[in-house]
Amino acid sequence: MNVLNKRAGFTLIELLVVIAIIAILAAILFPVFAQAREKARAISCLSNCKQIGTAFYMYVQDYDETTMNMGNGDYTDRLYPYIKNEQVFLCPDRSDTQAEEAPDGVTLTNRSIGYGYNWGPIQRRGGGLVLGQQYVNGVSGPKYLPGISLAAMVAPAQLVAFGDTYDTPRITCSFTFLLCTWGGTNNGTLRHSGGHFNFGFADGHAKNVYMRAGWVAGAEAGRFAVPRSLDQASYWCADPTQTYDGQGSNSAASDGVPIPLLPCGQYGAYIGANFPPCPPGGTSNCMMPD
């Protein structure tokens, strides 16, 4: 009886089935892996906001319970001695490059700072952790934004101190500076996960706020961002009942933004009432689509 020796192997159909199964699994798992990496970056970013907020609180305690004024150096120069780790100032999801933003004497491999200081909602009108920009001598010449006292903060747990920004080179998280270098035209490309920005608050805690983008004249690059829940716009106000303003070209009458001077806590309601969804191709005083 003759026995034929056959070499074991896969048929072409079996190989194609295996390849198809692998392709299906890859199509399912790769987006999951990408989402996991994005979530990890967002968590790292939130941790950075928490550490910057802790450094800010230590700074304020060392300087007579007064926040940093702006006008000579960035906030990073003031807080770096309390952190001693330049990586804390970098958001994993911001890849812009501008080396001069680094704290004095620190090299950040040309990465832009990822987190901005709260100057208030609109331009240099003030209302956040600083007052409106004004003349150093009260008349003309150099300007600065004075800091405020802890006593001026009505609700520190509801007052943004620092947070995600695309701003350069001021490094603020003011609505109308926030999207300085962001080139998108819809909310889907905002960080993180389409608009979840991380913020550290004046009492030291950190959380994310769901933001959306819009167009407005006078803002940096014509773009701005506000919380989707517009009642959270008051998070940018040390005292929501107070009206803050700058001087000269930085006053509400001269800063080019078509939003009138209002008590700080009313800006969100005004934007909600006067900035409708953008029509197709619209780029003027409207909110961008998702």
Per-residue pLDDT of the chain (290 residues; tens, 9 = 90+): 455 555 566 677 878 888 888 888 777 766 755 666 777 888 899 999 999 999 998 999 999 999 999 986 688 888 989 998 888 999 999 888 865 555 555 656 678 889 999 999 999 999 999 999 999 988 888 899 999 999 999 999 999 999 999 998 889 999 999 999 999 999 999 989 889 999 999 998 999 999 999 999 999 999 999 999 999 999 999 999 999 999 998 999 999 999 999 999 999 999 999 999 999 988 889 999 99
CA angle 278, 232, 161 (to 5 degrees): 115
The SS3 call for residue 160 is strand
Q: What is the pLDDT of residue 74?
A: 81
Q: What is the pLDDT of residue 170?
A: 86
In this structure, are residues 119 and 68 in contact, taking their beta carbons and an 8 Å threshold?
Answer: no
Q: What is the pLDDT of residue 237?
A: 98
**Cβ neighbour number for residue 24 with a 10 Å cutoff:** 10
Cβ contacts of 258 within 8 Å, gap of 6 or more:
216, 217, 218, 285
Tokens of 237: 């106000």
Task: Residue count of the chain, please give it.
Answer: 290
CA dist 175 and 18 (Å) reads 52
Q: What is the pLDDT of residue 96?
A: 83
Q: Alpha-carbon torsion 13, 19, 23, 26, what sign?
A: positive
Q: What is the pLDDT of residue 36?
A: 64
What is the value of pTM for the model shown?
A: 0.85
Tokens of 231: 């009642």
- Tell me which residue has tokens 């003759």: 2
* Helix ranges restricted to H, the chain: 12-62, 75-83, 267-274
Q: For the chain, give every domain's residue range.
A: 13-287
Q: What is the pLDDT of residue 1?
A: 47
- Over the range 75-87, which residues count as b (16 or more CB within 10 Å of their CB) and which as e? bbebbbeebeebe
Q: Which residues pair with 225 in a beta bridge?
A: 213
